[in-house]
Amino acid sequence: MTARATDQGGSAAAHCVILFASIHDVTAADRELRDAQIWCDMIPTPRSLSSDCGMSLEFRCRDLSAVRRRLQDARARPRGFFRRAGEQYVPLPAREGEGSRPATEGESGPS
Amino acid sequence: MIYLDHGATSFPKPPAVVRAVRAYLEESAANPGRSGHRLSAAAARVIYDARAALARLLGAPDPRQIVFTGNATGALNLALHGVLRPGDHVVTTSMEHNSVMRPLQHLRQTRGIRVRCAPADVAGRIDAGAIADALETDTRLVVVNHASNVVGTIAPLAEIRRAIGDRLLLVDAAQTAGATPIDVTAPQIDLLAFTGHKSLLGPQGTGGLYIRPGVALEPLMPGGTGSRSESDSQPDFLPDRYEGGTPNGPGIAGLGAGVSELLERGMDAVREHEARLLERLLARLQEIAGVTLWGPHDAAQRIPAVSLRLDGMAPSELAHALDRRYGVLARAGLHCAPQAHRTLGTFPEGSLRLSCGWTNTPQEIDGAAGAIAELAREAMR
């Protein structure tokens, strides 16, 4: 279990992660979500998702719809959305309504 | 002291710029975005904000299209080396700085590119028709100085764009970024090189290149970016493609603060302030017997850089006397632009250049002109 001592998102909420192409995109998304008062945190890119030595963006899964909308406005280029499940990351569909297992707002995952 | 060497670098820098550099060094000087911890994130935010501010100032729709370099020379080299292939034909002008002329000469020797220089007139004015005449059917790139660093003459970019059709246009905005409003979309500019330490009011060691979406360049300096780390190949997305290595974080922090200050003031107001100073300077200097001025008489056609000579005194002597006796700081010589001086007829001695900036006042202009008038009287005795 990864300690999340600085988690301001509330420990009860499931966390999702967005991978981006570059640190520019991560920061653009971070700015956009903060401006919209959506909690997020820049974190080291999880090794199981990518061998990049860069950063990714963590947010609460219940904000997924709002996050997708804001990222479209910010023209940030997400490479993938993932829901954290313990030490695993479950891929989420690229767009809302796609795929068989979209994350739903308010969903609580294992933590 | 009266500082009239803003064309070389702006001085002093705004307090906000100094504060931003200091804050970066004290509070967020980790490697931007590489390490994953909070200071790394803080540094990445500073770089992002500077890039976004520059995009806003230059009218670039997407901040990713702004790539940081160490200076305008770095940006010009990235553009020239990135675009030009063996045998390519390039058109440039006789007003260019060595930061364009030397890379072109180097590429002539190493890649066999062909270069044609469109002549400017004795006031440094570039005629779009002369550029059109220099084009060949396979001209790949046109390189134009947005304003001369010697006489301040502004190039007619809209006319040049019309004259060259859809050929690639590289604009050297070292003297104009932060001095005059720029919109990279109107007229369409494909590549625009700027320095951070002149009118953008940032620290030395900063600069960048705007790259229009769809313009493909070969990277000049591949290296680590913190992205696609598993691959030996340079990423194909901007800005990472052209930003190998750790950026100049403290410098970019300062540059971002300088650009924010310009955005707050408004570029029209900045331009207006400097145009008034230029008008005053030209008027005062024209009254002095023994002074010869170069460049257009109309201040609207130039940024506030004035080249002059004084009868009976070499430009270097004049600069030295102004500094030591009057505390007026200006620059004499060829200003790294020998071709421009050949065009003006001031080669090889060069000229004395007075270049105004954001801190200058009408009183300082009068003080500098008064000092030159006194030296002119002495020289005529």
pLDDT value, residue A12: 55
Contact status, residue A61 vs residue A16, Cβ threshold 8 Å: yes
pLDDT value, residue A20: 93
The pTM assigned to this predicted structure is 0.92
pLDDT value, residue A105: 35
pLDDT value, residue B237: 92
Q: Is A36 on the interface with B (CB under 8 A)?
A: no
A-chain residues near B36 (CB < 8 A): 42-45, 53-55
pLDDT value, residue B152: 95
Read off the pLDDT band of A4 (50, 70, 90).
very low
For residue A106, is pLDDT > 70?
A: no
Q: Is A52 on the interface with B (CB under 8 A)?
A: yes
Structure tokens at B225: 């970016």
Give the integer Cα–Cα distance in Å for B46 and B50: 6
pLDDT digits (tens, 9 = 90+) for A67-90: 999 998 777 889 999 999 988 999
pLDDT value, residue A82: 96
Read off the pLDDT band of A109 (50, 70, 90).
very low
CB contact under 8 A, A54 and B36: yes
Q: A53 to chain B, minimum CA–CA distance in Å?
A: 5
Q: What is the DSSP letter of B13?
A: P
**pLDDT-flagged residues of chain B (< 70):** none
pLDDT value, residue A33: 96
Q: B100 to chain A, minimum CA–CA distance in Å?
A: 29
What are the residue ranges spanned by the domains of chain A? 15-91
C-alpha to C-alpha distances, B367 to A1, B136, B271, B291, B292, nearest whole angstrom: 71, 50, 22, 16, 19
Domain topology for A15-91 = Alpha-Beta Plaits (3.30.70)
Q: Is A23 on the interface with B (CB under 8 A)?
A: yes
Residues 6+ apart with CB under 8 A from B7: B149, B152, B175, B198, B305, B331, B335, B353, B355
Q: What are the residue numbers of the active site of B?
A: 336
pLDDT value, residue B239: 95
pLDDT digits (tens, 9 = 90+) for A87-105: 899 999 877 766 544 433 3
pLDDT value, residue B318: 97
CB contact under 8 A, A26 and B44: yes
Task: Express as a percent the part of chain B with pLDDT over 70.
Answer: 100
Q: A98 to chain B, minimum CA–CA distance in Å?
A: 26
List alpha helices for B28-85, DSSP H: 38-58, 72-83
Give the integer Cα–Cα distance in Å for B190 and B300: 25
